[in-house]
Chains A and B, each alone.
Chain A
Amino acid sequence: MTAALLSIRNLTVRFHGERGETVAVDGVSFDLNAGETLAIVGESGSGKSVTMLAVMGLLAKAGVTADNIFGCGRNLLNAGDVEMRAIRGRQIGMIFQDPMTSLNPVLTIGRQLTEMFEIHLGLSGAASRKGAIDLLNLVGVPSAGTRLKDYPHQFSGGMRQRVMIAMAVACKPQILIADEPTTALDVTIQAQILEILSGLQSEFGMAMIMISHDLGVVAGIADRMLVMHSGRIVEQGLVDDVFANPQMPYTRSLLAAVPRFDLETEMTP
């Protein structure tokens, strides 16, 4: 039995606003095991994104408390900014819902990709250019060589999300965190992106945390899942168990609320 790649105990995140203190995440504990895909589901505002931002060290330290955040072989709770930045580039890759906000609009796609290699892996110009082309090919961007000089706005939503994925996996991270990576995309493009993600995962042996509000996506990609509600984990387990036999009323109502196109059932008004 190997130790968990990521281990979080009693994570709490508070924000101070005009209306006083909000507890966005309230005593969350979970593990991520090597090679697995863990999904986090829950309604909007339930604390899914904040949980992961806290783990990645992307929130103001003052609001974040935990008994323990252990990942990539070290204590992430005490890691400094410089150390966290290196971990985020190399050991933990991230993909966000809206790639436009995470790609730099004034730099070419090529520049942004080669930068990853130069900064994190210390590669030369030519080697990182080759790396960038290989990566774009890997995530299915056609004619990658000529597209390196394009800017993000010249790419479609699906293509930008591929570029984001390419950047996130550039350094072959142990952990990939994807926050609603397909929510903004159409179903047929979503299917392409999910296929790429599971392909990369088996190729690199990455563990993945997938935040999604789409229970269908979760059913298709995850091994285990956490259900969040008001900043707390209300249920967790293997996807098969949670879908087939949800223990908590909240989970049950969430599953029951999804209308099915594939069944001959009808909802009674």
Chain B
Amino acid sequence: MILARKVPLLELIDLKVHFPVSSGGFLNRRCGIVRAVDGISLRIMPGQTLGLVGESGCGKSTLGRAVVGLAKATSGAVVIRGKNIDNMTTAEKASERRRVQMIFQDPYASLNPRMTIGDIIGEPVMLHGLRSGKAAVEARVKELLELVELSPAYADRYPHEFSGGQRQRVGIARALACEPDLIVCDEPVSALDVSIQAQVMRLMMRLQKDLGLSYLFIAHGLGVVKQISDEIAVMYLGQLVEHGGRQVFQHPRHAYTRALVSAAPIPDPKIERRRKRIILTGDLPNPMNPPSGCRFQTRCPIASDRCRTDPPQMHYAENRHGAACWRTDELDALMPMATSPEPGPTIPVVPQPIADIG
């Protein structure tokens, strides 16, 4: 194995992104810090996809924005191809940044309504000097449109003339215009109907194969994440709680992931009927004031005393499946998987679901 192949394309080392927030209003006092991303380490190898799941507000978008430089890291490092972005020269930084692009959930809000599709896609080509001369840029735009399976004739049209799925293709073409190695995809299909979603997913998977791209694929839908990802990371309140391959959904090692997987609906009435859901009580805690110990302890059905005081660290099993949970080894007994193929031993230590209901 050649050493160079082992250098991750992206590495995050104990990354923190904190936002000071103020009360607003007359006094506008600073009243706290939102710890949107609070100590995350992970890596993405060339040509690979890391799927990132978690509930709204857990910090997924902030993490993605920090990777592309849209949010400033409070501490920790963003390392691209082995080099810390903070230690790069301005020129190096610009060229590395170009190679890390982002696509967004709402392709409409992120496309300038007064620019033609051709200008939207052509702008980064010119800006980064990837082609010179009007004709060459135009030819490149047509090429990019074809790459995302849109007609080159669309170059003269405006974003409002397109459907949601087509706009997302334009967003992808704009990202590809920069000739990136890594694309941060922030909920790229969440706003689309399932059939359009399937088309866009298929396109993204084909592009990855043809161009050797890496993706940081952010979504809250477990199905799309599993479909596209080589590795899956689960976030809760600014931190990673679990990380690994497909086993993350098949056999979660963290209590939160078990609850998440058991609550995610499965489009099969027969399976749904015999599933046992782990229903969590309460809402996601305020990230300004995260719980002590394990951040999931306020909602965890099996939290112990240690969970309330000591923060668990990420521990990897031999199959490189990691979880930050004190009770990982007891999960099969305490929170049996809801969709085990054969009815396994069920020891209902899980407290009454929604105990606070009359």
Known: A140-B356, A186-B56, A188-B259. A267 touches B269 (CB 8 A): no
Do A259 and B263 have beta carbons less than 8 Å apart?
no
Max chain B Cβ within 10 angstroms of own Cβ: one of A196, A262, A269: A262
CB distance from B9 to the nearest CB of A (A): 21
CB distance from A235 to the nearest CB of B (A): 15
A195 on the B face (CB < 8 A): yes
Q: Which residues of A contact B261 (CB under 8 A)?
A: 261
CB distance from B334 to the nearest CB of A (A): 18
Q: Which residues of B contact A137 (CB under 8 A)?
A: 356-358
Q: How far is the CA of A155 from the CA of B146 in the complex (A)?
A: 47
Q: How far is the CA of A253 from the CA of B272 in the complex (A)?
A: 21
Q: Which of A253-268 contact B (CB under 8 A)?
A: 253-262, 264, 266-267
Do B267 and A255 have beta carbons less than 8 Å apart?
yes
B314 on the A face (CB < 8 A): no
Known: A156-B283, A267-B227. A215 touches B194 (CB 8 A): yes
Q: Chain A: how many interface residues by the 8 Å CB criterion?
A: 47
B353 on the A face (CB < 8 A): yes
Known: A254-B195, A262-B339. A267 touches B356 (CB 8 A): no
CB distance from B288 to the nearest CB of A (A): 14
Do B223 and A259 have beta carbons less than 8 Å apart?
yes
A191 on the B face (CB < 8 A): yes
Q: How far is the CA of A189 from the CA of B220 in the complex (A)?
A: 13
Do A261 and B270 have beta carbons less than 8 Å apart?
no
A219 on the B face (CB < 8 A): yes
Task: Select from chain B the residue with minimum beta-carbon distance to A138.
Answer: B358
Q: Which of A10-27 contact B (CB under 8 A)?
A: none
Task: Select from chain A the residue with minimum beta-carbon distance to B284.
Answer: A186
Q: Which residues of A contact B260 (CB under 8 A)?
A: 187-188
B84 on the A face (CB < 8 A): no
CB distance from B185 to the nearest CB of A (A): 15
Do B357 and A138 have beta carbons less than 8 Å apart?
yes
Majority DSSP secondary structure for residues of A touching B? helix
Do A239 and B269 have beta carbons less than 8 Å apart?
yes
CB distance from B356 to the nearest CB of A (A): 5
Do B263 and A187 have beta carbons less than 8 Å apart?
yes
Q: Which residues of B contact A188 (CB under 8 A)?
A: 55, 259-260, 263, 279-280, 299
Known: A43-B195, A261-B223. A216 touches B265 (CB 8 A): yes
Do B269 and A240 have beta carbons less than 8 Å apart?
yes
Q: How far is the CA of A139 from the CA of B358 in the complex (A)?
A: 8
Do B223 and A140 have beta carbons less than 8 Å apart?
no
Known: A186-B220, A199-B357. A43 touches B193 (CB 8 A): yes
Do A260 and B279 have beta carbons less than 8 Å apart?
no
CB distance from B72 to the nearest CB of A (A): 27
Task: Select from chain A the residue with minimum beta-carbon distance to B272.
Answer: A220
Residue pairs across A and B with Cβ atoms less than 8 A apart, 25 shown, are A140-B281, A140-B356, A158-B283, A186-B55, A187-B220, A187-B260, A187-B264, A188-B279, A192-B279, A195-B277, A196-B354, A196-B357, A215-B194, A216-B272, A220-B266, A220-B272, A240-B270, A243-B267, A244-B270, A254-B194, A257-B195, A259-B221, A259-B223, A261-B226, A264-B246
Excluding A139-B357, A158-B283, A262-B339, 14 further A-B contacts by CB distance (< 8 Å) are A187-B220, A187-B260, A189-B55, A213-B194, A216-B264, A217-B265, A219-B267, A254-B194, A255-B267, A257-B198, A261-B264, A262-B249, A267-B198, A269-B202
**What is B's interface to A at a CB cutoff of 8 Å?**
55-56, 193-195, 197-198, 201-202, 205-206, 209, 220-227, 246, 249, 259-261, 263-272, 277, 279-284, 299, 339, 353-354, 356-358
**What is A's interface to B at a CB cutoff of 8 Å?**
43-44, 134, 137-140, 142, 156, 158-159, 186-192, 195-196, 199, 213-220, 239-240, 243-244, 253-262, 264, 266-267, 269
